[in-house]
């Protein structure tokens, strides 16, 4: 539990970067090496890593972070429409606007803690969702979603060139944001986001957030004004969500209100808990597993199941397919729910706890011979 040294942190960063950047290669054999899915991994990774700074460190469970995701997406698309197809201004603006939203919502929600805090955040997110469909349609374009149009101004782009035929695509100074280059762009941002999260975890600021989670009363009588600490964590995680939202719009320049729905907020909670709340790597693992299985299971149907179970006698295969089919395709959420229940009941610390347990098991095995040697020596 000692604070890791900078050297060790950098070593972890190096490995993390290598693993992320080589994803297209090692995910290929698993059938997940294509850009669309890889981008999803990276974008939801940013979302979850940021969410973990709030939930993992302070223990404040927000059910409204999808609102910041949505705000990030809308801001990015507006930046594409008004200024330029270059993603840099879009990203910077999205992070700032999402941060501002988080500051306002956080300021109000953090007047309460526990379940009341969660309900306040949920209420705010649902409010944003409904506003996006009603009063704010001039900004959000309602149910159709905000899209690029030929009539967009793009004032910065117009300074350099005439509007071309058809709709332009997003770029990072000429680098296309679709396909593998799009993935690598998101991956680099994920690595930066992870690095910042690691610094926060191991800083005095981060340890104080953990202390607030552990015993907020003690913190107050120890001389800390806990509110600004909590608000900072809330705003930082909101900015991460804004970044993730911007990247969604970057890879596909479209923003809809469904991104703000409570199910989207719930998803990031699931990912974080599944991987391991309050651990650095856990949320990334949660994202990987959920997005990977979503991809496989939601694409399956009864026919595919019959093929998988073809090796069984027909009557048995029919039974197995009948049992498993509600869990695939549209029913993927059923699988997710079951998986989540199993984890929470048997491994409340998520996958990271599982890994810790296995590690302990092995270290005990390796310790034993030493113990025996000592016993022999004394006898």
Partner 1 sequence: MSNIILKIDNVQKSFGGLKALSDLHLEVEEGKVHAIIGPNGAGKSTMLNVCIGRLAPDSGTVTFNGQDMIGKEPHEINQAGISRVFQTPEIFSDLSVLQNVMIPALAKREGAFKFNMFRSLSNETEVNDDALHVLEDIGLIDQIDVHAGSMSRGDKRRLELAMCLVQHPKLLLLDEPTAGMARHDTNRTIDLLKRIKERGMTKVIIEHDMHVVFSVADHISVLAQGTIIASGTPDEIRGNPKVQEAYLGGAHL
Contact footprint for partner 1 (CB under 8 A) = 1-6, 9, 196, 199-200, 202-208, 210-211, 213-215, 217-226, 228-229, 232, 236
Q: What is the DSSP letter of 150?
A: T
Residue 203, phi then psi, degrees to nearest 5: -100, 165
| Nearer to partner 1 (CB atom), residue 41 or residue 229 | 229
| Nearer to partner 1 (CB atom), residue 203 or residue 372 | 203
Cβ count near 171 (within 10 Å):
18
| Nearer to partner 1 (CB atom), residue 195 or residue 293 | 195
DSSP-derived pairing of the beta strands 175-176 and 171-172: antiparallel
Cβ at position 53, least distance to partner 1 in Å = 9
Q: Report d(CA 121, CA 159) in Å as an integer.
A: 42
Joined together, the tokens standing for residue 306 give: 């019959």
| Nearer to partner 1 (CB atom), residue 181 or residue 210 | 210
- Pair 177, 250: CB distance under 8 Å: yes
Residue 244, phi then psi, degrees to nearest 5: -60, -45
Cβ at position 209, least distance to partner 1 in Å = 10
| Nearer to partner 1 (CB atom), residue 37 or residue 236 | 236
Q: Which has the closest alpha carbon to 62: 249, 207, 267, 291?
A: 267
Cβ count near 243 (within 10 Å):
29
Residues in contact with 250: Cβ distance below 8 Å, sequence separation at least 6, in sequence order: 76, 87, 90, 91, 170, 177, 182, 185, 186
Cβ at position 192, least distance to partner 1 in Å = 13
Cβ at position 309, least distance to partner 1 in Å = 46
| Nearer to partner 1 (CB atom), residue 222 or residue 301 | 222
Cβ at position 90, least distance to partner 1 in Å = 25
Cβ at position 215, least distance to partner 1 in Å = 5
| Nearer to partner 1 (CB atom), residue 237 or residue 251 | 237
Joined together, the tokens standing for residue 298 give: 């939601």
Helix (H, G, I), strand (E, B) or coil at 148: coil
| Nearer to partner 1 (CB atom), residue 74 or residue 229 | 229
Q: Which has the closest alpha carbon to 192: 112, 252, 247, 150?
A: 247
Residue 221, phi then psi, degrees to nearest 5: -80, 5
E runs forming strands in the chain: 146-147, 171-172, 175-176, 254-255
Alpha helix ranges (H) inside 155-220? 155-160, 179-201, 204-214, 216-220
| Nearer to partner 1 (CB atom), residue 207 or residue 339 | 207
Residue 171, phi then psi, degrees to nearest 5: -145, 160
Cβ at position 244, least distance to partner 1 in Å = 20
Q: Report d(CA 270, CA 343) in Å as an integer.
A: 10
């Amino acid at each position: 539990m000692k604070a890791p040294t900078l050297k060790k942190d950098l070593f972890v960063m190096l490995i993390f970067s290598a693993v992320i950047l080589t994803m297209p290669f090692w995910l290929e054999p698993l059938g997940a090496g294509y850009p669309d899915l890889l981008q999803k991994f990276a974008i939801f990774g940013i979302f979850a890593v940021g969410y973990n700074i709030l939930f993992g460190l302070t223990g404040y469970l927000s059910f409204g972070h999808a609102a910041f995701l949505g705000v990030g997406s809308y801001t990015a698309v507006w930046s594409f429409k008004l200024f330029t197809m270059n993603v840099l201004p879009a990203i910077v603006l999205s992070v700032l606007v999402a941060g501002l939203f988080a500051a306002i919502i956080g300021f109000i929600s953090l007047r309460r803690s526990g379940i009341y805090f969660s309900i306040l955040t949920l209420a705010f997110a649902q409010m944003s969702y409904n506003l996006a469909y009603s009063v704010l349609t001039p900004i959000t374009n309602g149910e159709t979603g905000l899209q690029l149009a030929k009539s967009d101004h793009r004032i910065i782009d117009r300074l350099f060139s005439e509007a071309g035929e058809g709709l332009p695509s997003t770029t990072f100074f000429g680098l296309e944001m679709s396909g593998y280059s799009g993935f690598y762009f998101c991956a680099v941002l994920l690595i930066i986001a992870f690095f910042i999260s690691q610094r926060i975890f191991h800083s005095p600021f981060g340890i104080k957030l953990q202390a607030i989670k552990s015993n907020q009363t003690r913190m107050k009588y120890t001389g800390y004004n806990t509110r600004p600490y909590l608000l900072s964590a809330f705003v930082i995680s909101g900015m991460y969500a804004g970044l993730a939202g911007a990247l969604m719009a970057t890879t596909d320049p479209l923003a809809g209100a469904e991104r703000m729905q409570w199910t989207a907020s719930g998803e990031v909670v699931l990912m974080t808990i599944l991987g391991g709340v309050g651990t650095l790597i856990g949320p990334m693992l949660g994202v990987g597993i959920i997005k990977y299985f979503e991809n496989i299971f939601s694409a399956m149907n009864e026919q595919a199941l019959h093929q998988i179970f073809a090796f069984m006698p027909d009557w048995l295969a029919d039974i197995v397919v009948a049992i498993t089919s509600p869990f695939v395709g549209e029913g993927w959420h059923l699988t997710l729910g079951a998986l989540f229940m199993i984890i929470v009941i048997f491994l409340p610390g998520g996958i990271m706890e599982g890994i810790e347990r296995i590690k302990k098991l092995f270290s005990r095995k390796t310790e034993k011979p030493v113990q025996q040697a000592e016993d022999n020596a004394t006898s």
